[in-house]
């Protein structure tokens, strides 16, 4: 491996320098003034100010608008195998400390764990990986080998690593899209296409080959439990149900009625299977429908709780206001149907739709419906998805439980 003195040096503008010194880790292409020497796509480079001050070291991408993703700000770091193994051990030790169980848990969360563009989720004895950046992709052999060593040293059995590299964002770093097993033990059955996890006392099938993302959304684990705790005796409408998780938490906690809606036939089928797995068929009804159209058919006060967990309405800064209007439309309709005394569970999973903007949207929707909103709780993603306070890319989930007055 190269030492830091052998790395190409990327000189950036004063604006870029201020951005990095504020705690951020991305260098955009328009902030790059010069690169000291030839390099390969994905190489490690040192980033310096116009005056030569060291700002950090990161992976360079020759094709992405994010030209450098900084992963270290220590000029004395040596980026050998032990460096990356140590980072992986820190990530695992953190989860073992803050989580009650890591049977189903995010093990590596990109920049928050010092691995820009890398996601690793654990479902029982299977690790599911997504790599979005070339700097990580060309080092994955070393990273995965080190990861298996770290789990073995911790006494935790892993029997397979599956790559869900079917990400559109990989194209932005010049990478191909694919999915396949990277590694498996001799005893692992390669015909395995799903596993069953236990979360909040509820079982779920996780289809890590065909399911969304890595097969399941782990970040809402604690939020699902919070909603379940207020559902006893209530009539619940679970919108954008996906695998049925919010509705299942409500049904298990004694909801009087649960109707879960999604436009995806696959989501409805996955939800039905999860209901059968938990023997809750008599408590949940599933409807395949467009959420906006379905809400038009709902009578006012038909439900006590409406849950809104939509996909990200925006994935770029340029579409934030269009997303604002989309969130406002659906939240306003939910408030109209609930009326005073009803409970609204609402969230956004886009970091571009920040907390201030999301609250502004809720207040405007409340004003339109002549209601006041009382906050029961505000939470974010689970502790296995840690937030760097200096990096808004890691701070994405906003989750509110509200009562209308």
Cβ atoms of residues 28 and 65 within 8 Å: yes
pLDDT tens for 363-395 read 999 999 999 999 999 999 999 999 998 887 888
**Rounded distance between C-alpha atoms, residue 42 and residue 20, angstroms:** 20
* pLDDT class of 313 with cuts at 50, 70, 90: confident
Would the pLDDT of 5 be above 80?
Answer: no
Would the pLDDT of 2 be above 60?
Answer: no
* pLDDT class of 4 with cuts at 50, 70, 90: very low
Q: What percentage of residues in the chain have a pLDDT greater than 90?
A: 87
pLDDT tens for 93-140 read 999 999 999 999 999 999 999 999 999 999 999 999 999 999 999 999
* pLDDT class of 315 with cuts at 50, 70, 90: low
Collapsing DSSP to helix, strand or coil, 403 comes out as strand
pLDDT tens for 334-370 read 999 999 999 999 999 887 888 999 999 999 999 999 9
In this prediction the pTM is 0.93
pLDDT tens for 273-291 read 999 999 999 999 999 999 9
**Rounded distance between C-alpha atoms, residue 12 and residue 198, angstroms:** 48
DSSP letter, residue 312: P
The DSSP code sequence of 57-118 is: EEEE-SSSSEEEEEEE--TT---SHHHHHHHHHHHHHHHHHH-S--SEEEEEEGGGGT-TTE
Mean of pLDDT values over 141-162? 98
Collapsing DSSP to helix, strand or coil, 28 comes out as strand
Phi and psi at residue 25, to the nearest 5°: -125, 10
CB contact set of 208 (below 8 Å; sequence gap of 6+): 123, 126, 128, 162, 164, 193, 194, 195, 214, 215, 216
**Rounded distance between C-alpha atoms, residue 262 and residue 286, angstroms:** 8
* pLDDT class of 300 with cuts at 50, 70, 90: very high
pLDDT tens for 319-328 read 888 889 999 9
Domains of the chain are: 6-72 (2.30.130.10), 81-192 (3.30.750.80), 217-404 (3.40.50.150)
């Amino acid at each position: 491996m190269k030492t830091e003195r052998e790395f190409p040096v990327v000189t950036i503008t004063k604006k870029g320098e201020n951005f990095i010194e504020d705690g951020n880790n991305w260098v955009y292409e328009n902030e790059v003034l010069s690169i000291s020497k030839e390099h390969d796509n994905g190489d490690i480079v040192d980033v310096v100010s116009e005056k030569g001050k060291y700002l950090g070291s990161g992976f360079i991408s020759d094709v992405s608008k994010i030209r450098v993703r900084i992963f270290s700000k220590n000029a004395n770091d040596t980026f050998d195998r032990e460096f990356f193994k140590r980072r992986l051990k820190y990530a695992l030790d953190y989860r073992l400390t803050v989580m009650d169980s890591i049977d189903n848990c995010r093990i590596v969360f990109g920049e928050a764990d010092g691995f820009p563009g890398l996601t690793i989720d654990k479902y029982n004895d299977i690790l599911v990986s997504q790599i979005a950046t070339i700097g990580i992709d060309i080092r994955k052999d070393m990273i995965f080998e080190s990861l298996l060593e770290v789990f073995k040293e911790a006494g935790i059995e892993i029997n397979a690593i599956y790559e869900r590299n079917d990400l559109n964002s990989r194209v932005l770093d010049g990478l191909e899209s694919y999915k396949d097993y990277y590694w498996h033990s001799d005893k692992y059955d390669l015909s395995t296409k799903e596993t069953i996890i236990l979360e909040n006392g509820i079982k779920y099938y996780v289809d890590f080959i065909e399911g969304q993302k890595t097969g399941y959304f782990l970040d809402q684990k604690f939020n699902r439990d919070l909603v379940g705790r207020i559902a006893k005796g209530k009539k619940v409408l679970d919108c954008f149900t996906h695998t049925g998780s919010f509705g299942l938490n409500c049904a298990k906690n004694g909801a009087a009625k649960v109707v879960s809606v999604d436009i995806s036939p696959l989501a409805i089928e996955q939800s039905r299977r999860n209901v059968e797995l938990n023997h809750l068929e008599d408590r949940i009804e599933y409807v395949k429908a467009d959420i906006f159209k379905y809400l038009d058919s709902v009578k006012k006060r038909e439900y006590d709780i409406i849950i809104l967990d939509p996909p990200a309405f925006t994935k770029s800064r340029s579409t934030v206001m269009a997303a604002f209007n989309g969130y406002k439309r659906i939240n306003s309709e939910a408030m109209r149907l609930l009326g005073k005394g009803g409970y609204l569970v609402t969230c956004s999973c886009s970091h571009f739709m920040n907390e201030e903007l999301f609250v502004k949207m809720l207040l405007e929707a409340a004003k339109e419906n002549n209601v006041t909103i009382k906050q029961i709780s505000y939470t974010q993603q689970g502790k296995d998805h840690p937030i760097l306070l200096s990096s808004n890319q890691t701070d994405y989930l906003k989750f509110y439980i509200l009562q209308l007055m």
